[in-house]
Amino acid sequence: MRISSQGNALSDAELEVVEKLLPWSLPEAYRAFLLKHNGGKPIPPMVPIQGVPNNPEARVQVLFGVTRPIESSNLGWNWHTYSADLPQGLLPIARTGTGHIFCLGIAGSFKGSVLFWDTGAEYVGTGLPGLDHFYHVADSFDSFLSSFREEPKE
């Protein structure tokens, strides 16, 4: 997997400013990704998702960065926008073109894992206790990055 449309080079100090907004420290693998790429568009863009009815994969539009020119592509903006709606310990890290969000477990029982938040879901029962509309994607941020694949050919 490679990243296109990467953000400008990011310093430790710039990343620390965002980390101070959060109630936890960022995992080392995610921190390293931000310092190397500062977000961007994954190529290939598709990620498999376990248990989503009628949609077993999603196309990632952007992996959030810290100092990206489009505000809604920044980690801090997304944390501020969604933190009140997210279960404790989940951090928004990416989104699809249709507004669904990928979250990284920073604390609690899903620490380290990546979840898909189906923001438009009208059903419940995902198998994740207390996390209706959330679906398991990967056990770690690194395995999330390695799960990207090409879009299916029509």
Please give the backbone phi and psi of residue 143, each rounded to the nearest 5 degrees, phi first.
Answer: -70, -30
Amino acid sitting at position 1: M
**Domains of the chain: residue spans and CATH:** 2-146 (3.40.1580.10)
> What tens digit of pLDDT does each residue of 122-145 get?
544 444 545 668 889 999 999 999
Burial of 88 (0-12, 13-18, 19+ CB in 10 A): exposed
Q: Which comes out higher in pLDDT, residue 133 or 3?
A: 3
- Helix segments in 41-140, DSSP class H: 75-82
Radius of gyration from C-alpha coordinates of the chain? 15
